Amino acid sequence: MSKKQILIRTTALSAAMALIASVLCLRLVYLQLAKGDEYRETAARQTSVRYTITASRGEILDRNGQAMVSNELSYAVKFDYFSWDREKQNDVILDTCAILTEGGVSHYDSLPISLSYPFEYTLGEGDGDYDQMEEFVLKKSDFESLPEASELLSWFVGRYDIDTSLPGGSQRLIAGVRYEMEIRQFSAYAPFTLASGADIDTVGHITQLYLELPGVFIEGESTRKYETESAAHILGRVDIIYADEYAELKDQGYGINAILGKDGMEKTLEKYLRGIDGKQTVVMDINGGATEKYVSQEPQPGDNCYLTIDLDIQETAEKALAETIESIRARGQSSSSRQGADAEGGAVVVIDVRNGEILAMASYPTYSLATYKEDYASLRDNELSPLYNRAIQGLYPPGSTFKMVTAAAALETEIITPDTMITDLGRYTYYDDYQPRCWLYKDTGRTHGRINVSDAIKYSCNYFFYEVGRIMGIDTLVDYAHAFGLGQKAGIELAGEKPGQVASPDTVEDWEGGLVLQAAIGQSAHQFTPLQLANYIATLVNGGTRYRPHLLKKVMDYSNTELLEETEPEVLDTIELSQSTVDAIKEGMRGVVTDDGTASSVFRNYPIAVGGKTGSAQTSSNRSAHGVFVSFAPYDEPEIAVCVIGEYAGSGGSVAPVAVAIYDEYFGLNDQEEDGLQN
């Protein structure tokens, strides 16, 4: 190609590029000058908002994969900031809440003032909702301290421009919702959730009235579904995040309307159960209309958590405990002795002696997680405290079930041997100022005669344990009690566990030498939880290995295809127990449930060999004794230990039928009976 041709082509290309650049410049000038105002107006008329797409929580299942808590599709009733009518908002709130009430749906309202006249505070200082309200009011008002509830409600009525001609209950309702909207920072970036869990009928009613309820919209959501009425104290509940929780958790991705575990395993396992929320971007025009929607981040469901609980055993334990206590009460009220007439609460713990896994843990009376919100006021005011988890928070004297501690300590320190015989003289006269009597001598004037440690356990001879307890001394007794885990937290995953105490000079004022006699038979100031007692028996019959009791078995991903975590048995302590010590104590516990032992009538002809011990724990009042029964099975190769406590049930034998029902379920005897009926 000649130089002339190259020059021509270069010139043509340069001219073309210059022309294109000129056109682009002219177009840019046109857009900026001629159309600039129009496009600026269009841009001003649009805004984009990112909403949270709440991720589904993981499920909670029992050890066998039975669902205990799952999820179901329901609906949330929300307020949209862009279409919210500030002038009509109080009327909209009142009308929407009326529809919710008609449908049996409760709305969020944390204002701790009663819903009707006379208006009073429903909570006090130290409660999260009360403290939150106090902080809010003192910040927003001229009050130096909170006034009477009725005066404070009047302040809210004025703050939210509520019509004072409305009935007091309506004013309180509106004030509660408006307060909730304010503390939850209702804004373009945080739609307000008025209620969750609305059914399709309620949703349909609201939808039909959408013209009369501007700003109210419905959104599908995943809510908790309780697959069982049992295990409320174990599972716990979820609810909307509190302000103080939000302040602490917002940096972890929690929103102002987030749902999280409040107690029980829902709270303990929050880090697994909680999913990762997604994001939806909504482009809106100036009138609040959505012009575009797209998911910018998909939500990721939470993980599935498998508990050590066997749901069938759990349900059996709860049913048997309730029926037994009610039966004891009815029987006592119709008898002349009145023993057990005031039986009221109780607890059961079933533990695997080989690894510390909790198979069942029941507290009576209990409650329904499905209706917790609706029932809360009555549950809170119930004198039997159904919200109280007696299995880990109830503290009870162990009564004679403690005698195996005394026996183990005496045998291991060689104060006695399995063959040592002690003569029961009825009244123990070592101390001049304190001479307690064996229960048999007190009741009949007879004694147990010459007796060894196994028979002393079988017949629950107080005199035998007075003697070995005095010789051994309180320090050794306390050391062994602590080694068995008594008087200290067991370390279970649930919050609120009580440590209790072992009677000793450190826990009892004005300790005197004679008090060791009471301590040796399980009286005095001993205070233990049912969980501690069950784990103590598990430690004893497995040969001295004390495991940490636990409720979490494993964590799987949401699709149940990948194992994320598995709980390994954790040894807390090992007690050096000789086989002869274990055998002698087990023999005594076997005698309790056979022949003429104190629980033989309950276990007579039972097909599984069991060991047990009854206890009647005296109370400080004039009421019946607490009934305590601890046991294990099978006898030769123990697998599980059971503790049953009935408050004011009169005796340990009276609550032993609960253990029978549990063993029936564990060993499949119920299934055998059903098969026999079918055949």
Supply the pLDDT for residue 24. 57
Residue 181 confidence (pLDDT) above 70: yes
**Which residues contact residue 454 at a Cβ distance below 8 angstroms, ignoring those fewer than 6 apart?**
418, 584, 585, 587, 588, 591
pLDDT in tens, 585-594: 999 999 999 9
Q: Over the chain, what is the mean pLDDT?
A: 90
Residue 248 confidence (pLDDT) above 80: yes
Residue 3 confidence (pLDDT) above 90: no
What are the domain boundaries of the chain? 49-307, 311-369+384-678
Q: Considering Cα of 667, then 669, then 672, then 674, what sign does the dihedral take?
A: negative
The structure tokens 């004025």 sit at 158
Least confident of 28-32, 71-75, 97-101, 611-615: 28-32
Residue 49 confidence (pLDDT) above 70: no
Q: What share of the chain in percent tops pLDDT 70? A: 89
Residue 26 confidence (pLDDT) above 60: no
Name the residue with higher pLDDT: 188 or 305. 305
Supply the pLDDT for residue 453. 98
Supply the pLDDT for residue 50. 62
Q: Are 410 and 452 in contact (CB under 8 A)?
A: no
Residue 298 confidence (pLDDT) above 90: no
**Which residues contact residue 305 at a Cβ distance below 8 angstroms, ignoring those fewer than 6 apart?**
58, 59, 60, 61, 265, 269, 272, 273, 552, 554, 555
User: Residue-wise over 315-339: b if at least 16 C-beta within 10 A, else e?
Assistant: bbbbebbbebbeebbeebeeeeeeb
Name the residue with higher pLDDT: 123 or 156. 156
Name the residue with higher pLDDT: 80 or 97. 97
CA atoms of 645 and 349, how far apart (whole Å): 9
Residue 34 confidence (pLDDT) above 60: no
Q: What share of the chain in percent tops pLDDT 90? A: 71
pLDDT in tens, 394-408: 999 999 999 999 999
Q: Is the pTM of this model over 0.75?
A: yes
Supply the pLDDT for residue 27. 55
Residue 29 confidence (pLDDT) above 80: no
Region 460-485: mean pLDDT is 97
CA atoms of 581 and 575, how far apart (whole Å): 12
pLDDT in tens, 452-462: 999 999 999 99
Q: What is the CATH number of domain 311-369+384-678?
A: 3.40.710.10
DSSP string of 227-255, one letter each residue: S-SS-HHHH--EEEPPHHHHHHHGGGT--
Q: How many residues does the chain have?
A: 679
Identify each DSSP E strand in 242-311 by its residue range: 259-261, 278-285, 290-297, 304-307
CA atoms of 137 and 144, how far apart (whole Å): 9
Residue 673 confidence (pLDDT) above 80: no
CA atoms of 615 and 532, how far apart (whole Å): 15
Region 171-200: mean pLDDT is 90
Question: What letter represents residue 639's amino acid?
Answer: E
pLDDT in tens, 631-664: 999 999 999 999 999 999 999 999 999 999 999 9
Region 441-448: mean pLDDT is 94
pLDDT band with cut points at 50, 70 and 90 for residue 42: very low
Strand partners, 128: none
Supply the pLDDT for residue 475. 97
Region 211-224: mean pLDDT is 90
CA atoms of 531 and 390, how far apart (whole Å): 9
Collapse the DSSP code of 599 into the 3-class scheme (helix H, G, I; strand E, B; otherwise coil) and give the result: coil
Supply the pLDDT for residue 39. 47
pLDDT band with cut points at 50, 70 and 90 for residue 1: low
pLDDT band with cut points at 50, 70 and 90 for residue 147: very high
CA angle 610, 649, 390 (to 5 degrees): 80
Supply the pLDDT for residue 321. 98
Q: Are 310 and 230 in contact (CB under 8 A)?
A: no
Q: What is the CATH number of domain 49-307?
A: 3.90.1310.10
pLDDT in tens, 519-552: 999 999 999 999 999 999 999 999 999 999 999 9
Supply the pLDDT for residue 127. 83
Two tokens at 616?
């009647």
Name the residue with higher pLDDT: 50 or 561. 561
pLDDT band with cut points at 50, 70 and 90 for residue 221: confident
